[in-house]
Chain A
Amino acid sequence: EDQVTQSPEALRLQEGESSSLNCSYTVSGLRGLFWYRQDPGKGPEFLFTLYSAGEEKEKERLKATLTKKESFLHITAPKPEDSATYLCAVQALENTDKLIFGTGTRLQVFP
């Protein structure tokens, strides 16, 4: 069964304190791995799609990496506005467009 596990569940950081969020996955065949940001009471906002092991993508203070078993979302020198829940999802080869989500990591960045 396809599955996504994210850790930690919650993370509190001081402004400027870099860290990483983990997404471990099991899928029969990976079509793509997705990272989303979700603010309270809002829909997820697309961040990245990764397709193959070794791939990396960056956007401002965020950098996503992918291996055959997991993905990391690295946050460099975070700011309070980076506070949100970060969701990881996988798309299997046989399930066109369907995403399986992890439970997310709730990030709080304090000034």
Chain B
Amino acid sequence: GAVVSQHPSWVICKSGTSVKIECRSLDFQATTMFWYRQFPKQSLMLMATSNEGSKATYEQGVEKDKFLINHASLTLSTLTVTSAHPEDSSFYICSVAHPGKLFFGSGTQLSVL
């Protein structure tokens, strides 16, 4: 299956700062990547679909200006949480669309103090 690398694994930041999370598809050229968010003991909620070379498509209720997504190449998508607040603390996971399935990164645990 596709290998997806996500970095960093965890990050702690102060309220008001911005945090960037990287998602790389190591062995597959991904025109589409997805960003999910997961709260403790809850399911994965799709935040946005990242399309290479074009604007991301955000799910209803997800703030575009707060969660900036850039998919500049076929192997890299980034999610930037701008002006983070404690309520943004969560587990963020990216995934790569591969024919017939999605492969996921290892996730990033964000804690905003």
Contacts and interface: CB of A to CB of B under 8 A. Distances in A.
Contacts of B100: 32, 49
Q: What is the interface residue range for chain A against chain B? A: 20 to 34
B72 to A, nearest CB: 20
Interface residues of B, number: 25
Given A43-B93, A43-B107, A44-B93, A99 B43 contact: no
Contact of B106 (A32, A42, A98, A100): A42
Contacts, number: 54
Nearest to B36: A101
B43 A102 contact: yes
Interface of A: 32, 34, 36, 41-46, 49, 87, 89, 96-104, 106
19 contacts: A34-B102, A41-B107, A43-B4, A43-B6, A43-B95, A44-B93, A45-B104, A46-B1, A46-B102, A46-B103, A49-B100, A97-B34, A97-B49, A97-B97, A98-B46, A99-B102, A101-B45, A102-B43, A104-B43
